Amino acid sequence: MRVIATAVGFHGGSLHKPCDGFDVPDGSKASWYVPADKADVAPPKTRRKAAGPETLSDVTKADNEALGAGLV
């Protein structure tokens, strides 16, 4: 039976991500996949990168720039 993953799951020695299609034995059930003929799965949303410093050194540089601008 052909199924579509709705969440990340492990089956048959492979890790499946949302929207992946794969085969399982007939009658198999799991909470993280649905039969392909009943699938209404939207692609997973991507996360936007947050604006601002990413590392401690970026924070330090931003603080130094802000402090330096006020002293001149």
Q: Are the C-beta atoms of 30 and 11 separated by less than 8 Å?
A: yes
Helix (H) or strand (E) holding 4: strand 2-5
pTM above 0.85, yes or no: no
Mean local confidence (pLDDT), 7-19:
91
The predicted pLDDT at position 3 comes to 92
The predicted pLDDT at position 26 comes to 92
The predicted pLDDT at position 58 comes to 77
Bridge partner residues of 35 (DSSP): 3
Amino acid identity, position 1: M
Amino acid identity, position 29: K
For the stretch 16-63, pLDDT in tens is 998 888 999 998 899 999 998 876 766 666 666 666 656 777 777 777
